Amino acid sequence: MKMPIALTLLFLTVNSYSQCPELLKEAKEKGASSLIITFDGLGTAEFGLGVLQKRVISKIKDRCGAKNISSMEFYYSKEGAKDAMVCAKSFSKAFGGRFTLHVLGHSFGAGKGVFNFIEEAQKADQYIENVVTYDPRGYSYKYENPGKGTVGNFVNIYQKVPLSGRKVKNADSEFDVTGKSSHVSLPKKFANLAMENLEGALSCAN
């Protein structure tokens, strides 16, 4: 019997949130003071496929050292963003000035998840060192980098057809890759492009 979609989403949200204390415990043991939060897109998020974790974060960990980085996926809803912020704040409290936060999203995970999270970051006065969005979509408004007070480095990678992503006003780096990848394949094909433009604690991925 298939799980109704509403129950699936509730399970994903609660499951991610409940795993944060264990992730923090492991991070303390390793000294992994950098946290990467990801938001997958419509379809991949609902089924917990972990596209960004598999296609992008694994590569970052390979280059920067898995022992230095913790990562967790959250659902792209407003509630998911709130849970992700609670997790981020627990890391910030544990690591203090050594803590660095990074956020990646694809499709609805970029257009909804990342920007929902940015709203939470502004409310909580939480600095995000790197933001990477792949084909942000899902809200009708125009997307905009909130600036250095909240986000240190904003990278947007998008394509125009099909399932087009949107531009992000005032992004620090922005790449139109139309014709070079489908919407679905964007994270896999342009993982390295994102990594080449990371700064701070994740500049080792360049």
Query: What CATH class is the domain 5-205?
Result: alpha beta
| pLDDT tens digits for range 93-135 | 999 999 999 999 999 999 999 999 999 999 999 999 999 999 9
Please, where are the H alpha helices in the chain? 5-30, 51-52, 58-64, 78-95, 108, 115-124, 186-189, 191-196
Of 104, 101, 115, the closest CA to residue 155 belongs to: 104
Between CA 177 and CA 23 the distance in angstroms is 35
Of 125, 99, 129, 121, the closest CA to residue 31 belongs to: 99
The domains of the chain are located at 5-205
Residue 1 has pLDDT above 70, yes or no: no
Residue 59 has pLDDT above 80, yes or no: yes
Instruction: State the pLDDT at residue 16.
Output: 64
Of 39, 203, 192, the closest CA to residue 177 belongs to: 192
Within 13 Å, how many C-alpha atoms sit on residue 65's CB side? Answer: 11
Between CA 166 and CA 131 the distance in angstroms is 15
